Amino acid sequence: MSAENIQSRPDAGAIRALLERHVLELPADFPEDGDLFGAGMDSMAIMQLLLHLEEEFGVKIPMGEVTGENFSTTAAIARLVAAKSDEHAEEDRGGR
Amino acid sequence: MNMPRKIAEVGETDAFVLATEWKMRRSGQGGHFGCSVLELSSPPDATALRAGLDELLRRHPMLVAASGRPWPFTTPWYVRPRNAAESLPLVRWRLPGPLPDDAAADGKEISSLETLVDWLLNEASATFLRPARHNMRVDLLDGGAGGCWLIVTWSHAILDGVGAELLLRELANLCHDSKADSVAPSFVAPARSPWSKPYDRWQATWPMLEHLQGLLQQGIHSLAGPKPKASRMRARWERLDEVATAAIQERATRFCGPLIQTHFHLACAIIAHDAVWRRHRGGSAPVYTVALPVQLRARGKAPPIFRNNVSVMFFTAKPDELSDIGALTASLVRQQQDAMKKGLMASFSEMQRWMRLLPAPLYSFFLDSQMKGQNTAFHHSHTGPFAKELGAIAGAAIRDGWHVPGLFAPPGTGLFMSQRDGRATLVMSWRECALAEAEAATLLNAFRQALRGEMETRE
């Protein structure tokens, strides 16, 4: 995916769409604060998700930040991706 | 062709396990069985257990299934054989010494739990086929005041470790209430290929075939060597206390975060095997190539009880990478990410779908000729919390539980981990043709030391 296509601050809905496209089947009424681990998210699913987050939103999540809290809900993942996007943007500005 | 009643379609990985079992029986290594051990606080209610087993068999005909296919090179099936058992064995044993009043006095005496597991993994194997076919048995060992152990021995030909834990939950539920809903579907149809045209399906296997060719150029080196030999299964296990378990967890978190620690445990298993090579075999192996099973079940759907439901991911490490466990762990993470980017798991699954059409002898021949007799340096898995939803069975509280996987040589060695109530259990399985006694001691010690950071590594 080219840089201009990367949506850097996805919301919970975009994360959910990505999860359903590549990683996990969620029930239609699954809320954005619903427990993803209870819905079947496991370590393999997270490894897949990390790749897709990098590919689709341009963020690389270090393994140290792959925590239960950060990956428990679509809303939490969206917050993490937004925070990492901001960090990357800050680094880019600092690098110029 | 007159074929017995079909039960379920053999899956991709099931076919691999069936081929492995064929090789095991042919080379005098018995069947492919694993034991799941539950340590109980008191003897269970034997009547409830018997009733639970009867209901279990009534619901799940896979527990007496054999494999077959209507014509050569067609889809294989699990079928109900003519000699299918009418009930599952429940056998009672007791440790030597006086028993309390409420313990079973009718069990056969055996010296220890270890001896019983050894017997189950070796001698009991033939009893699964004749006179009546069954794929599971239950043994109860009464230890008097020391508690009681319930051992479920299961055939790997019909399920894997995840399935075994579902089976334990199902049995526990049915012991309690014979009308309870099943914890999971018995089986589901294997996933179909995402490619419809045979040419596309064939092309889809190439990424994995090329990857395997690359691995084979470096070689695959197990402690058993490439030739299968008749030899006994052995197993040893060790339960760590809460402090040691927490220290390992903290260390794993330091190297790969709190949630995905597989790569750290695998790094430790590689370092432990290297210790055996260095201390007993004259030097490190040229490279450690490990095929790690990866669960393939559809996320968000209840997995079936009966299915070997994995793909495989290959990891490599050279001896000069082993002195820095942090760097080694990071390298293993990168290797997994690279493999996923290249779509190797989907390619491997497609390869297995083609291979599934081969009868077991041909499957084995093809695999051995391609892989030069060895497909992994050793076996390893960390199955996480052991049966965490399960607190009691047939009225007895569960104090601990762990799997003792059986395995084939080559590779002939395996290091496994699981956890229950904040305590880890390390399990080492091996074949006598792969490890001498002193080497086995080195392997388990080195694994524990690597996990706990007691080896000389840079950090």
CA A17, A21, A24, A29 torsion-angle sign: positive
- Asked if residue A4 has pLDDT above 90, the reply is no
The b/e string for B406-421 (b: 16+ C-beta within 10 A; e otherwise) is bbbbbbbbbbbbbbbe
Distance, CA of A42 to CA of B261 (rounded, Å): 12
Q: Kindly calculate the radius of gyration of chain B based on its CA atoms and give it in whole angstroms.
A: 22
Tell whether the model's pLDDT for residue A5 goes beyond 70. no
What residues in A contact B257, CB-CB < 8 Å? 62-67
Is the ipTM here above 0.90?
no
Beta strands at B108-109 and B136-142: parallel, antiparallel or unpaired: unpaired
- pLDDT over 50 (residue B299): yes
pLDDT score of B402 more than 90: yes
Sign (positive/negative) of CA torsion A13, A19, A22, A27? negative
Name the token pair of B213.
């060719």
What tens digit of pLDDT does each residue of B331-356 get?
Answer: 999 999 999 999 998 899 999 999 99
Average pLDDT over residues B381-403: 93
What is the nearest CA distance from B201 to chain A, expressed in angstroms? 20
Average pLDDT over residues A69-80: 95
Distance, in Å, from the CA atom of B283 to the CA atom of B285, rounded to the nearest integer, reads 7
Which pTM value belongs to this model? Answer: 0.92
pLDDT digits over B173-193, tens only? 999 999 999 999 999 888 889
Rounded Cα–Cα distance for residues B278 and B456 (Å):
14
CA A10 to chain B, closest CA, distance in angstroms equals: 22
CB B453 within 8 A of CB B329: no
Look at residue A86 in the predicted model and tell me its pLDDT: 84
Residue closest to A47 by CA, chosen among B162, B11, B246, B313: B313
Residues forming beta bridges with residue B404, ordered by sequence position: B35
Taking only the tens place, the pLDDT of each residue in A26-51 is 998 999 899 999 888 888 899 999 99
Residues in chain A: 96
DSSP string, A14-79: HHHHHHHHHT----TT--TTS-TTTTT--HHHHHHHHHHHHHHH-----GGG--TTTTSSHHHHHH
Query: What per-residue confidence (pLDDT) applies to B53?
Result: 98
Most confident of A3-12, A69-78, B209-218: A69-78
Q: What's the mean pLDDT when you consider all of chain B?
A: 92
Region of residue B387 (phi > 0: left; psi between -120 and 50: alpha; otherwise: beta): left
Rounded CA gap, B142 and B108, in Å?
A: 10
Q: Identify the closest residue of chain B to A39 by CA–CA distance.
A: B300
3-state secondary structure of B219: coil
Could you tell me the strand order of the sheet in which B66-68 lies?
B6-9, B77-79, B66-68
The burial of A58, by beta-carbon neighbours within 10 Å (0-12 exposed, 13-18 middle, 19 or more buried), is given as middle
What confidence score (pLDDT) does residue B192 get? 87
Q: Which residue did the predictor score with more confidence, B56 or B364?
A: B56
CA atoms within 13 A on the CB side of B87: 9
Per-residue pLDDT band at B265 (split at 50, 70, 90)? very high
Instruction: Please state, for a pLDDT cut of 70, what percent of chain B lies above it.
Output: 96
Rounded to an integer, the average pLDDT of B151-170 is: 95
Q: Residue B295 and residue A44: Cβ atoms within 8 Å?
A: yes
What per-residue confidence (pLDDT) applies to A6?
A: 52
**Shortest Cα distance from A42 to chain B (angstroms)?**
8
pLDDT digits (tens, 9 = 90+) for B64-79: 999 998 888 888 999 9
Please state the rounded mean pLDDT for residues B412-441: 97
Paired tokens of B288: 């450690």
Give the per-residue pLDDT at A2: 44
pLDDT tens by residue, B26-49 = 999 988 999 999 999 999 999 999
Please report residues of B whose CB lies closer than 8 A to that of A40: 299-301
Cβ <8 Å between A42 and B337: no
Distances, alpha carbon B303 to alpha carbons A75, B29, B190, B438, in Å: 26, 30, 11, 40
B372-396 average pLDDT score: 92
Task: Give the model's pLDDT for residue A8.
Answer: 64
Looking at residue B303, the DSSP 8-state letter turns out to be P
Task: Count the alpha carbons within 13 Å of B443 in the hemisphere toward its beta carbon.
Answer: 29
Q: What is the DSSP letter of B324?
A: B
Average pLDDT over every residue of B302-318: 89
**Is the model's pLDDT at B456 over the cut of 70?**
no
Q: Is the pLDDT of residue B141 over 50?
A: yes
Give the position of tokens 């395997």.
B212
Q: Where are the beta strands (DSSP E) in B136-221?
A: 136-142, 148-155
Question: Which chain B residue lies closest to A50 (C-alpha atoms)?
Answer: B337
Total count of residues recorded for chain B: 459
| Average pLDDT of the residues in B411-424 | 96
pLDDT of amino acid B130:
87
Confirm if B287 and B218 have CB atoms less than 8 A apart: yes
Cβ distance B299 to A62 less than 8 Å, yes or no, reads no
